Chain A
Amino acid sequence: MTGRPRTTAARVLQNRLFLAACLACTSLAVLALAVLLISVLVQGVPGLRWNFFSEYASRKPDRAGILAPLSGSVWVCTTCMLLSLPLGVATAVYLEEFARRTRLNRFIELNVRNLAGVPSIVYGIIGLTAFSRMFGLVGSADGTPLVLGDPESFLHLELPFGQSVLAGGLTLMLVILPIVIIASQEALRAVPRGLRQASEALGATRWQTTWQVTLPAAAPTILTGAILAMSRAIGEAAPLLVLGIPLFIASTPESLMDQFTVLPFQIYSWASRPQGAFHDLAASGIIVLLAVLLSFNALAIYLRIRLQRSTAS
């Protein structure tokens, strides 16, 4: 054998060197993160006063708040999740449990995997054409939308969707759908074959097996994947910018047809203002965005542990 150290001391030394190299790599990453976090915290924590959460944007930095972008982000991400979770899980169930390995299905699967790597701005362009403008097929030429139902009520539709929460949610759905599908597929694949076979041996149909055995067993992993996808959606700005969403808005959404703005957009805008006080506000905004992201991740971990416990018992 070549290259293998002969003595114990040499092997121990090699071991130590490797360990040191690994530690150096890890600490480099942690150091970069720490520098970033500390500088943001130092700059942004003083700005986290109560009215930062209860006020709209303002020309006076000490009066400016993130009510509009924070509520907009929550609305659009909730919409996105409610749309993409059923669709994504259903697609994964079809591909894993029902579909035959035909050439077409393999082609679909390959495409889903490729779509996961497409830059999000591309989905923004699809969203603009399909949801925001609806190919110019509906609504009048001067931009007045076609209104279905009472515009004052929560349940009404305006076609095309324009820059509404629904248009934003659908566009973000395009971004995270491939991720949700792949995560759900992996989760279903990880369910032991024996469970399905046992169920089928008892005379259960494939539908009963999927619904009562496979899906509950895969649920914790599916949820984790979905929530991680959602934390990606909340950080996205590019596809929404393509839709032409406004930056300043002095109201919070009340229905799916209302306009909105999002946190990353507001943070970017504050960071590019000339006045230094707005740069501090941007840092405060980043802290809020990070807190939202971390709470999503915490929720994912909590749900996984809880569901695993309940399926194990």
Chain B
Amino acid sequence: MPNPIAFSLVLIGTLLVGGGGVQQEPSNLRGRVRVDGSSTVFPITEAVAEEFARVAPRVRVTVGVSGTGGGFKRFCTGLTDVSDASRPISATEVKSCAENGIEFVELPVAYDGLCVVVNPANDWVSQLTVEQIRRIYGSKETVRTWRELDPAWPDRPIRVYSPGTDSGTFDYFREVVVGSKGTTRSDMSVSEDDNILVTGVAGDRDAIGFFGFAYFVENRDKVRAVAIDGGKGPVTPSDETIIAGTYVPFSRPLLIYVNRRSAERPDVRAFIDFYLEQAAELVPDVDYTVLPAPVMDRVRANWRDRRTGTQFLTPAGEKVKGTLVEVYR
């Protein structure tokens, strides 16, 4: 029979040392880790949960797909331990978490590029500026034909395709193109299923659409990605340009948010340790781009220190300008 006082001292020691010190073997852990949120991040978390089940078979990890916004709603009422997000948390969501006394650790885990795509038979567009994209998707100065955008282009109608307006993908695109207060045109063909967008653009010479890089990778033969001019010349989306940070402004971070109080639990802690350890290997498996090593180091350090709050907003709630590499320096 071990001395209870000595035992609790060891326990306290373990808790204090945290990630670096003596840890319970994951195979002995029991518990329930609840994850919900973005369907874009889902494949990554699913892959991690799948592998984690091999090392810690008695920890039940469940992953939902309520969408980034829906996930934060549940996260900020304490219903989940971890929230998947395909855009940084918003000021409103930070406030709602704070009202419920929920602190969180923000951890970027991968990159995704938003690809603007056209039909392969479209032989006039090879590159677009962000301003031109704004005139296609925004509700102001909206163009109806390709010629209105550029006199050299044919006088054919533009048919616009977009992911569902509840998705983080749409939120991120809208934010970049028309800003947080702007609105998009109302006559778009919208689908929650990005494969429908692929089919739509693949079957229509006058179509334009956008979705995550993974959907473009799988459908290179059906749609063509347009080079984006974000102010420093046109850049085509690829693993290299996304990781180098030159594919701007449509490279976006995929993140997970961990409830600070849940992070005290050994099961959640082991799961997140495992997540950050395996991310580099599992992210490419599901067609996303791994973060550059310096950013990943910074993310691991943030997790080790349990640094709470978001780095994408200033304390006053203003958006921090710049790419992920600049924000996570």
A residues lining the B interface (CB < 8 Å): 56-60, 141-143, 244-251, 259, 269, 271-276, 279
Residues of A close to B194: CB separation below 8 A: 272, 274
Selected from B42, B193, B287, the residue in CB contact (under 8 A) with A275 is B287
Contact yes or no, A274 B49, CB < 8 A: no
Chain B min CB distance to A167 (Å): 13
Q: What's the Cα separation between A247 and B50 when bound, in Å?
A: 13
Main secondary structure of the interface of A (DSSP, over half): loop
Contact yes or no, A249 B62, CB < 8 A: yes
Q: List 26 A-B contacts (CB under 8 A).
A: A56-B50, A59-B285, A60-B285, A142-B78, A244-B36, A245-B64, A247-B65, A248-B63, A249-B63, A250-B49, A250-B53, A250-B60, A250-B61, A251-B60, A259-B62, A269-B42, A269-B65, A272-B193, A273-B43, A274-B194, A274-B195, A274-B218, A274-B287, A275-B214, A275-B218, A276-B218
Q: Does B66 have its Cβ within 8 Å of any Cβ on chain A?
A: yes
Chain A min CB distance to B72 (Å): 13
Contact yes or no, B43 A59, CB < 8 A: yes
Q: What's the Cα separation between A259 and B193 when bound, in Å?
A: 26
Instruction: Give B80's nearest chain A residue, CB to CB.
Output: A143
Residues of B close to A250: CB separation below 8 A: 49-50, 53, 60-61
Contact yes or no, B42 A248, CB < 8 A: yes
A-B contact count (CB 8 A): 82
- Given the contacts A248-B62, A271-B195, A59 and B46 also touching, CB distance less than 8 Å: yes
Q: Does B215 have its Cβ within 8 Å of any Cβ on chain A?
A: yes
Q: Does B22 have its Cβ within 8 Å of any Cβ on chain A?
A: no
Residues of B close to A269: CB separation below 8 A: 39, 42, 65
Q: What's the Cα separation between A60 and B47 when bound, in Å?
A: 9
Contact yes or no, B62 A246, CB < 8 A: yes
- Given the contacts A57-B46, A250-B49, A272-B192, A244 and B66 also touching, CB distance less than 8 Å: yes
Q: Does B286 have its Cβ within 8 Å of any Cβ on chain A?
A: yes
Contact yes or no, B195 A244, CB < 8 A: no
Selected from A143, A247, A271, the residue in CB contact (under 8 A) with B42 is A247
Which residues of B (48-70) have their CB < 8 Å from a CB of A? 49-50, 53, 60-66, 70
Chain B min CB distance to A164 (Å): 12
Proximity string of chain B (255-273) to chain A, C-beta cutoff 8 Å, 1 when within and 0 when not: 0000001000000000000
Q: What's the Cα separation between A273 and B43 when bound, in Å?
A: 9
B residues lining the A interface (CB < 8 Å): 34-36, 39, 42-43, 45-47, 49-50, 53, 60-66, 70, 74, 77-79, 192-195, 212, 214-215, 217-219, 261, 282, 285-287
Q: What's the Cα separation between A142 and B214 when bound, in Å?
A: 36
Residues of B close to A246: CB separation below 8 A: 34-36, 62-64
Instruction: Give B79's nearest chain A residue, CB to CB.
Output: A143
Contact yes or no, B65 A59, CB < 8 A: no
Q: What's the Cα separation between A58 and B49 when bound, in Å?
A: 9
Chain B min CB distance to A249 (Å): 5
Residues of B close to A271: CB separation below 8 A: 193, 195
Chain B min CB distance to A259 (Å): 5
Q: What's the Cα separation between A233 and B34 when bound, in Å?
A: 26
Chain B min CB distance to A258 (Å): 9
Q: What's the Cα separation between A142 and B63 when bound, in Å?
A: 19
Residues of B close to A274: CB separation below 8 A: 194-195, 212, 214-215, 217-219, 287
Selected from A244, A245, A248, A272, the residue in CB contact (under 8 A) with B46 is A248
Residues of A close to B43: CB separation below 8 A: 59, 273
Residues of B close to A142: CB separation below 8 A: 78, 261
Chain A min CB distance to B130 (Å): 25
- Known contacts A143-B79, A250-B60; 20 further A-B pairs (Cβ under 8 A): A56-B53, A57-B46, A58-B50, A60-B285, A142-B261, A143-B77, A246-B62, A247-B63, A247-B65, A248-B49, A248-B61, A250-B49, A251-B60, A269-B65, A272-B194, A274-B212, A274-B215, A274-B219, A274-B287, A275-B214
Q: What's the Cα separation between A273 and B63 when bound, in Å?
A: 16
Q: What's the Cα separation between A275 and B53 when bound, in Å?
A: 23
The 9 tightest CB contacts between A and B, nearest first, are A246-B62, A248-B63, A59-B47, A143-B78, A250-B53, A272-B193, A142-B78, A274-B215, A246-B64
Selected from B34, B50, B219, the residue in CB contact (under 8 A) with A57 is B50
Residue of A59, A141, A247 ringed by the most chain B CB atoms within 10 A = A59
Contact yes or no, A59 B282, CB < 8 A: yes
Contact yes or no, B50 A244, CB < 8 A: no
- Given the contacts A274-B194, A275-B287, A59 and B50 also touching, CB distance less than 8 Å: yes
Instruction: Give B32's nearest chain A residue, CB to CB.
Output: A259
Chain A min CB distance to B70 (Å): 8
Instruction: Give A242's nearest chain B residue, CB to CB.
Output: B66
Q: What's the Cα separation between A186 and B43 when bound, in Å?
A: 48
Residues of A close to B35: CB separation below 8 A: 246
Residues of A close to B49: CB separation below 8 A: 248, 250
Residues of B close to A59: CB separation below 8 A: 43, 46-47, 50, 282, 285-286
Residues of B close to A275: CB separation below 8 A: 214, 218, 287
Residues of A close to B47: CB separation below 8 A: 59
Chain A min CB distance to B320 (Å): 30
Chain A min CB distance to B19 (Å): 24
Instruction: Give B47's nearest chain A residue, CB to CB.
Output: A59
Instruction: Give B73's nearest chain A residue, CB to CB.
Output: A244
Chain A min CB distance to B261 (Å): 8
Residues of A close to B193: CB separation below 8 A: 271-272
